[in-house]
Amino acid sequence: MALLSIVLPAYNEEENIANTAGVLSGLLEEQGIDYELIFVSDGSGDGTFSEIRRAAERNPRIRGAEFSRNFGKEPAIFAGLEMTRGNAVIVMDCDLQHPPQVIPQMWKLWQEGAEVVEGIKVSRGKESPVHRLSAGLFYKVMSKLINMDMDASSDFKLLDRKVVDVLLTLPERNTFFRALSFWVGFRTESVTYEVQERQYGKSKWSFFSLMKYAVTNATSFSTLPLQLVTVMGVIAILFSVVLFVQTLVKYLSGTAVEGFTTVIFLILIIGGFLMLSLGIIGHYIARIYEEVKGRPKYIISRTTWDPDSPVR
């Protein structure tokens, strides 16, 4: 019988663990799907791992791990993928904003031959204006950078075992799961869903954390920002040529005006472009530096099957 693994990254989600485990277990047992639930606590500062351990004691199909510190959602996803044993793997949010009711439909599409089943958002649900604005800006920026519709796509997706194995062989330390699962290809189907309301707690994503997430993932997956440096250089050169021609014409016609306004304006524009270009290049150098060091994506401090001993 085929086994379905569900990976659930969690950061300060102690209020949601028991409810999520109960809802998913009940649904999958009702559907007759053999399953395992993999919770990964991303260095949570509350009792998230304690709740995961309690859930594992109640249900042997539940396993979990805790990071030694907060490494981020991407490492948590890949840690969960490494822990899975299923023939198919679903990644979803621990707060059930990704609706469990869609899982049977994903499972059916996989049984019919789909190797990747994408969850496509048709509605973002109820959000504060600030969060909606920051999330919308994040997805628009990322869509342009990686040439993929990020506004509709999500981390909620099913992957065949062969797709998971391919993702786990990728050597980079700075990973972007949503884009990488799109990049690897394979036969893809999609299902639509509406983002659900959180049962407990509130979103851990702020405007600044989303922007940092966007910059990190953009530079780890796309070289477009580096190409923008060339574009800015061309713009600066064209602007300089226009000002040079204008100044020369005024000088030859005897109408040149003395002063430094134009010079200062030109210096500010070129200086701004130079500083922005150096910032972009510096960010890529930082990514290279992190990759060259070869440090692990994450460190696991405890697991539910060996809660007192670190495994890596």
pLDDT digits (tens, 9 = 90+) for 177-207: 887 788 787 888 888 887 777 665 565 555 5
Contact 61, 36 (CB under 8 A): yes
Contact 52, 10 (CB under 8 A): yes
Give the model's pLDDT for residue 215: 65
Helix axes 224-252 and 207-221, enclosed angle (nearest 10): 90
* Residue 193: CB atoms within 10 Å: 19
Give the span between the Cα atoms of 312 and 310, in whole angstroms.
Answer: 6
Give the model's pLDDT for residue 150: 61
Give the model's pLDDT for residue 158: 92
- Per the DSSP assignment, residues forming a β-bridge with 34 are 3
Give the span between the Cα atoms of 18 and 116, in whole angstroms.
Answer: 28
Contact 45, 12 (CB under 8 A): yes
Give the span between the Cα atoms of 161 and 101, in whole angstroms.
Answer: 22
Give the span between the Cα atoms of 39 and 42, in whole angstroms.
Answer: 10
Contact 197, 125 (CB under 8 A): yes
Q: How far is CA 226 from CA 98, 218, 222, in A?
A: 34, 11, 9
Give the model's pLDDT for residue 141: 66
At 191, the amino acid letter reads: V
Q: What is the DSSP letter of 151?
A: T
Give the model's pLDDT for residue 6: 93
Q: How far apart are the first and last CA of the chain?
A: 31
Contact 78, 297 (CB under 8 A): yes
Give the model's pLDDT for residue 181: 80
- Per the DSSP assignment, residues forming a β-bridge with 9 are 40
Reported residue count of the chain is 312
Contact 79, 303 (CB under 8 A): no
State the burial class of residue 221 (Cβ atoms within 10 Å of its Cβ: 0-12, 13-18, 19+). Answer: buried
Q: How far is CA 8 from CA 39, 60, 100, 133, in A?
A: 5, 16, 12, 26
What residue ranges of the chain have pLDDT lower than 50?
Answer: 309-312
- Per the DSSP assignment, residues forming a β-bridge with 39 are 8, 64
Give the model's pLDDT for residue 4: 93
Helix axes 207-221 and 261-293, enclosed angle (nearest 10): 70
- The per-residue pLDDT for range 137-183, each reduced to its tens digit, is 666 666 666 666 666 667 889 999 999 999 988 887 777 788 778 87
